[in-house]
Structure 1
Amino acid sequence: MTENKKYSIKSTSKELLSRWYHLMTLGRALDEKAPNYLKQAIGWSYHAPYAGHDGIQLAIGQTFNKETDHLFPYYRDMLTSISAGLTAEEVIFNGISKDTDVAGGGRHMSNHFAKPEWNIHNVSSCTGNHTLHAVGVGRAIKKYHHKGVVFSSQGESSVSEGYVYEAINGATNEQLPVVFVFQDNGYGISVPKKDQTANRKVADNFRGLKYLKIIHCNGKDVFDSMNAMKEAKEYAMENSTPVIVQANCVRMGSHSNSDKHELYRDNAELNYVREYDPLAKFRRLLVRYKRFTEEELLAIEAEVKLEVKKAHKAGLTAPDPDPASIYDFVIPEAYVSEKYPEGLHDYTGNKLKLIEGLNETLKAEFRHNPDTFLWGQDIANKEKGGIFNVSKGMQQEFGKERVFNAPIAEDYIMGTANGMSRFSDKIRIVVEGAEFADYFWPAMEQFVETTHDFWRSKGQYSPNITVRLASGGYIGGGLYHSQNIEGALSTFPGVRIVYPSYADDAAGLLRTSMRSRGMTVFMEPKALYNDPKAAAPVPEDFEVPFGKARVRREGSDLTIITYGNTTHMCVEVADKLAEETGKQVEVIDLRTLVPMDKETILKSVAKTNKVLVVHEDKVFSGFGAEISATITEEAFQNLDAPVRRVGSAFTPVGFNRILEKAILPNNDKIFVAAKELLEY
């Protein structure tokens, strides 16, 4: 077929038409068979039938090239996935959640088809959020001068999500080769399109965006869909700009097997959608234009029946997931330091401030790994390097391709980090997730998504991302500038959380974070950035392993467990108690919250028999609650007093310095609690 020739019933080769009919018949056979598995209690408890989307789904899969392109299908994209290369067996393995499921071994919801080794990505149930990942991959394609495009597919209702707007806005702003396909069947479960958007065609909502091409097609028609997808891919590749393909479809069935569309669609509408069955129309065309005889089509249909029968047998005999495997692939193994296995050093050079330790380590790691990238808000504009200047001088040395500003859209920052990291496992990404940690909440949807990507894909995709967050108070910042959020973030498996107190540990933990696979949240106590108390000599190659606490002060009468801003307070309180009472207090600086150094904690408890947990976050539901519970469960026999906690009051942090002081922990509050425990 020549470059400009369009697909049609007359011009398309018989070989290609035969392949298409085989794929469409196979897809429909599996689409109709899926509910039977649930009826027989075999599986496929979630199935979203695609019938009525046949044309556009065939076209997406046929246009996709696994050698060069990336595909993000959504939960209704069964035929898309089959057209892109998934076999009937692979579809059934996914549907009935077998260990042989190539998407992730039954770890993800049925009807979420993927094959990561072919760049058919494992996407979430969180509808439409993969648009941000697609943009991230598109960014990598552009930066690495790769010849390919990204396809992101979704229903029209998910376009109402805010992160979809962020994704398309970002793709136009960065001019990225991403094809967004809207499969418009008129419903979001039972919600009609008129309740979603004022425009009859949702793609028109984006008409004001520069560098964006919008193509409309009949998603029920094979040839119109093929021509639209061919045009979209060629345009995106030639211009390195995004394209929206709005495909008009019908939904012949219910939204899913838990939905009854008869409750909100009348008989006239149901009869209408059945009349527009795309597979039946395609079959009629093949016969009417004498491209195939009835016998030839029956032969293809017979082949499909045998194919499905064979796949069904393979599915029933395929192994189920092993219950013992649930702890596999929660998070990748971290980078291991050979020179500093305990994260300690005897270097006595000049002291660096905490902010200097971070800045120098960022630069050193960017020199070490040319596939490292940094973005965030306000991080690279002339001489400014973040609102605290942690990234000062980065763009000047490493250029705009590797260090650049992001929009004020935290979900976009996180989501595109997830996406760009999918392009190659050698890539390491550092994002300033928000200017202040308490502004990170808009990114939580993408944060949660990223925490379970490694587990959900059964280790096939690791988000190699370090999320930097300036955390804590003591700066008179008030709401959104002084809160601690590590307690909330620690409830999600699949992410490491570190919280240094000194410049050397900040540098060492940052280096380990940036060299490790998997995601790490790097909490930076901003009140200590330039505080002389946090300054320390920092070896150029220093590394601190995750899960290794540091004993800041030896003692035998009381253990204080702490991290971040309160570490220095606890050391000062311990010195004061030794001077005034002769009691020796051991101060343990956790450095890493997840994983937590339980061994060091329990060893100290066995020695001192009394424990005070101190952190800046709220006492109620703060991370100290986990520490306290761990000690109570595993070292109760060693306790001579209840585990006590000191932290913030269960209120927001006030702006006025008087209010802030009343709310946050300080030396006096820690001293009183420690003294009472020592006297217990």
Structure 2
Amino acid sequence: MEKRNQKQFGIKQTPKETLRQWFYLMTLGRSLDNKAPNYLKQALGWSYHAPYAGHDGIQLAIGQAFDKGKDHLFPYYRDMLTAISAGLTAEEIILNGISKATDPASGGRHMSNHFAKPEWNIHNTSSCTGNHTLHAAGVGRAIKYYKHMGVAISSQGESSVSEGYVYEAINGASNEKLPVIFVFQDNGYGISVPKADQTANRKVANNFSGFKNIRIFHCNGKDVFDSMNTMAEAKVWVLENQMPAIVQANCVRMQSHSNSDRHELYRDKDELSYSTDNDPLAKFHRLLVKYGRFTEEELAVIEEQVKAEVKEAHKKAMAAPDPAPASIFNFVMPDAYISEKFPNGLHQEQGEPIKLIEAINQTLKEEFRHNPDTFIWGQDMANKEKGGIFNVSKGMQQEFGRERVFNAPIAEDYIMGTANGMSRFNEKIRIVVEGAEFADYFWPAMEQYVESSHDYWRSNGKFSPNVTIRLASGGYIGGGLYHSQNIEGALASIPGVRIVYPSFADDAAGLLRSAMRSKGLTLFLEPKALYNAPKAATPIPEGFEVPFGKARVRRLGTDISIVTYGNTTHMCIEAAEILEKEMGISIEVIDIRSLIPLDKETILTSIKKTNKVLVVHEDKVFGGFGGELASVISDEAFEFLDAPVKRIGSTYTPVGFNRILEAAILPNTEKIIAALKELSKY
């Protein structure tokens, strides 16, 4: 314990071989940092490069503190030396810079200067600056739960700390006492915006001085020894106390923010001279010679070694293959769980009907028993006898404990971001989150939803967040704004996420089971108006499973096809029965159940038989998912149509609170009947 307060590293006591390695790494990093812009000038790539020069001390220290066998590292786009110090080679850095297929970070799919090696737990992070703090908190939660003796290290610039999700991450980490080191590399600028325009505190870390269960460390990020000592002390403190720490490193940015920035437009000559005079590599070089640890000749040998290494790395990287155009379709979405017992998601069970809400609750419990590495959290969902705003998760915390079933802060981005992060710890982990109490409140989590949607693609198949997002969706409850909207139409345009929307209890159980057993991200939308509705209750076979992309024909017919899902499925069935009795029109009702992937085959087969189609959903007609359905039908079944593709949905307005307004806005059986009668005249 007493060693912790002593300086572990210094120019005199650090072994010469260690100093040699540090100088080699710093020289290699600076050589590549200086060389990167030349690739762009020669049109070879590296079209985005954020020079790190001036951050040398802290970046060397982060990489040296990282243990790839135990820790998780989340670097940001300026962390070239961090990546090199953590173990990436010159060739791997150049492969990333010029976006080759063998780039270990993403195979050329992500921006240059986003360095990663997922198999070493050096994580592929986003261009959305600072958002990986949430992932670090999430993996810190897993480290704590599994009693793993490691830490998560998150690195970022000081200006990105202004992002709301950074505050959510640090608040959550301090509240949960998570073993995370948040490093702020403070160079005084957010691109061209000076720090004074970002925060009132001169040192951004001090914004968090009132947070409990967290320790703040300050260091000179330009100085190798101060940085090494501070990172070592912070890591020991986090491991011993199992609480988070912040390391604020004072740096200087010697170059422009990136190769698309001109810092001379907003920095005067004195400031630019100061940054050059405080070059950390030059200072380290002088110290090594001044204190007799190395001669100029010895350092020159290392510099020549680096030149030869970079030259050879360049040659190999240039010869590496480029990504193939056809590979764009690889790793969009991981393979789903395949049901052998219920390959079409159908059954003939004749038992007692179970309500939709009970079906979800029972399935969650069954899957938690099936896989002990399953977790669930969300807002207001695990307090004493209450299990969520609708009691969907009732009894789960009592059976599975507070470590697997727990409340999250009212911070939707934190809910989603930590789910992404926790799933990085182990592929066995499956996470269910109540993304918000109502689907309408999910919008603050959109940054993490988008982030998670392309993680699998962006990492070239090396990581997928295995997360099911549960959201109580839709109207017909008199809830008004933020309690009655549908969001699937807006989200369906984002690739990489399965979207399912059951109408009956058995499908709710079967789709949820498939989601929780699959790799990847699934948005599971629950029609809350049907939670306790007798019309949605069904018998459910034991272990029932519904594969993704398999529609269900709810009613056979020959004259008109209806394509629907969710709440409106029941209205469509009712409308079809009324019209058959009144007018003898035979109507087929297809419940798609799964929006993405979509069962086009069942839809097109029905239309080839009936030659007329009505698309019905609860969401707005304009911009709703029905527009995509109509487009697919028009494109692939046009020759079979005897009438225009007609659509019924909500008006292009928000959903009103007054029941009269709600009824005028949302679709209903009468509106569907009117549309069917119109279609029947063709």
Q: Do these two structures clear the TM 0.5 threshold for a shared fold by scoring above it?
A: yes
2:105 is aligned to 103
Q: TM-score w.r.t. structure 1 length?
A: 1.00
Aligned to 2:284: 282
SS at match of 2:479: coil
Q: Does 1:170 align with 2:172?
A: yes
Shift, 1:539, TM fit = 1.1
Given that 2:57 and 2:222 are in contact with CA atoms closer than 8 Å, whether structure 1 keeps it comes out as yes
Kindly provide the amino acid, as one letter, of the partner of residue 57 in structure 1: Q
| Aligned residue among 368, 380, 383 for 2:382 | 380
| Structure 1 residues 450-529: aligned runs within 5 Å | 450-529=452-531
Q: CA deviation at 1:315?
A: 1.2
Runs of 4+ in 1 over 2 A off after TM superposition: 1-5
Structure-2 separation of matches of 1:61 and 1:300:
20
Give the AA of the match of 2:28.
L
Q: 1:578 aligns with which of 577, 580, 597?
A: 580
- Secondary structure of 1:29's counterpart equals helix
- 2:617 equivalent in structure 1: 615
User: How far apart are 1:347 and its partner, in Å?
Assistant: 1.0
Following superposition, the deviation at residue 187 of structure 1 comes to 0.2
**1:679 Cα offset (Å):** 1.4
- Which residue in 2 is equivalent to 1:350? 352
Residue 5 of structure 1 deviates from its aligned partner by 5.0
Aligned to 1:675: 677
Deviations 1:398-430 (A, max 9, x none): 000100000000000000000000001100000
* One-letter amino acid of the counterpart of residue 553, structure 1: R
Check if 1:629 corresponds to 2:656: no
Return the alpha-carbon distance in structure 2 between the equivalents of residues 300 and 229 of structure 1.
Answer: 26
Q: Give CA-to-partner distance per residue, 1:177-227, whole Å, 9 cap, x none.
A: 000000000000000000000000000000000011000000000000000
- The amino acid across from 1:473 in the alignment is G
Instruction: For residue 307 of structure 2, give the secondary structure of its aligned residue in structure 1.
Output: helix
Contact 2:612 2:642 in 1 (8 A): yes
Partners of 2:642 and 2:349 in 1: CA distance: 38
- Name the residue aligned to 1:332: 334
Helix, strand or coil: the match of 2:392? coil
Q: Which residue of 2 aligns with 1:406?
A: 408
- Matching of residue 419 in structure 1 with residue 390 in structure 2: no
1:77 to 2:79 alignment: yes
Tell me how far apart the structure 2 counterparts of residues 266 and 378 of structure 1 sit (CA, whole Å).
53
CA distance in 1 between counterparts of 2:435 and 2:209 reads: 30
d(CA) in 2 for partners of 1:655, 1:2: 64
Report the equivalent of 2:314. Answer: 312
Contact residue 7 and residue 229 of structure 2 kept, 8 A: no
Supply the distance in 2 between the matched residues of 1:676 and 1:595 (Cα, whole angstroms). Answer: 31
- SS across alignment from 1:537: coil
* Unpaired stretches in structure 1, ≥5 consecutive residues: none
Match of 2:44 among 39, 42, 45: 42
Name the aligned partner's letter for residue 409 of structure 2.
P
Show the counterpart of 1:56. Answer: 58
User: CA–CA distance in 1 between the matches of 2:45 and 2:302?
Assistant: 28
Q: Secondary structure at the match of 1:300?
A: helix
CA gap of 1:96–1:241, structure 2 versus 1, over 3 A, is same
Q: Secondary structure at the match of 2:423?
A: helix
Q: Secondary structure at the match of 1:588?
A: strand
**Cα distance in structure 1, aligned partners of 2:68 and 2:330:** 28
**Partner Cα separation in structure 1 for residue 89 and residue 348 of structure 2:** 59
* CA distance in 1 between partners of 2:3 and 2:205 (Å): 30
- Deviation by residue 1:243-299 (Cα, 9 ceiling, x = unmatched): 000000000000000000000001111000000000000000000000001110000
The offset of 1:621, in angstroms, is 0.8
Amino acid at match of 1:79: L
Letter in 2 for 1:462: S
Measure, in 1, the Cα distance between the counterparts of 2:160 and 2:594: 38
Q: 2: CA distance between counterparts of 1:603 and 1:249? A: 64
> For each residue in 1:534-579, what CA deviation from the matched residue of structure 2 results, as whole angstroms up to 9, or x when unmatched?
0000112000000000000000000000000000000000001110
Residue type at the aligned position of 1:597: D
Alignment match, 2:264: 262
Contact (CA 8 Å) 2:96, 2:105: kept in 1 or not?
Answer: yes
8 Å CA contact 2:213, 2:243 repeated in 1: yes
Match of 2:294 in 1: 292
Instruction: Return the letter of the residue paired with 1:239.
Output: N
Note the aligned Cα RMSD (angstroms): 0.8
Residue 141 of structure 1 corresponds to which residue in structure 2?
A: 143
- Normalising by structure 2, report the TM-score: 0.99
- 8 Å Cα contact 2:161-2:167 kept in structure 1: yes
How many percent of aligned residue pairs carry the same amino acid?
A: 76
SS of alignment partner, residue 530 of structure 1:
coil
* Secondary structure class of the residue paired with 2:346: coil
Trace 1:9-48 onto structure 2 (pairs within 5 A): 9-48=11-50
Q: 1:241 aligns with which of 217, 234, 243?
A: 243
Amino acid at match of 1:51: A
Select 2:68's aligned residue among 63, 66, 69: 66
User: How much does 1:6 deviate?
Assistant: 1.6
Query: Which stretch has the larger CA shift, 2-11 or 490-499?
Result: 2-11
Residues in 2 aligned to 1:304 and 1:6: alpha-carbon distance in whole angstroms: 28
Instruction: Letter of the 1:135 partner, please give it.
Output: A
Instruction: Note the alpha carbon deviations across 1:137-182, whole angstroms, 9 max, x for none.
Output: 0000000000000000000000000000000000000000000000
Question: 3-state SS of the aligned residue for 2:435?
Answer: strand
SS in 2 for 1:34: helix
User: Matched residues in 2 for 1:414 and 1:540: separation?
Assistant: 31
Q: How many pairs does the alignment contain?
A: 680
Match of 1:194 among 172, 193, 196: 196
C-alpha distance in structure 1 between counterparts of 2:520 and 2:558, whole Å: 38
Query: Counterpart in 2 of 1:564?
Result: 566
Q: Counterpart of 1:248 in structure 2: which amino acid? A: N
Which of 363, 367, 370 is matched with 1:368 structurally?
370
Structure 2 residue aligned with 1:210, among 202, 209, 212? Answer: 212
User: Helix, strand or coil: the match of 2:525?
Assistant: strand
In structure 1, distance between residues paired with 2:436 and 2:63: 37
SS of 1:450 mapped into structure 2: helix
For 1:477 and 1:100, locate their aligned partners in 2 and report how far apart those are by CA, in whole Å. 52
How many Å separate the matches in 2 of 1:297 and 1:473? 71
Partner deviation per Cα, 1:429-476 (whole Å, 9 max, x = no partner): 000000000000000000000000000001100110000000000000
Give CA deviations for 1:351-410 in whole Å, capped at 9, x if unaligned.
100000000000000000000000000110000000000000000000001000000000
Q: By how many angstroms is 1:37 displaced?
A: 0.1
Superimposed CA distance per residue, residues 505-524 of structure 1 (whole angstroms, 9 cap, x where no aligned partner) = 00000000000000000000
Q: CA deviation at 1:2?
A: 6.8
Contact 2:355 2:536 in 1 (8 A): yes
SS at match of 2:554: strand
Give distance in 1, aligned partners of 2:638 and 2:283: 73
Cα deviations across residues 297-354 of structure 1 (Å, max 9, x unaligned)?
A: 0000000000000000011111000000000000000000000000001111111000
Distance 1:197 1:2 in 2: 35
Q: Is the 8 A contact 2:474 2:483 kept in 1?
A: yes
- State the AA in 1 paired with 2:381: I
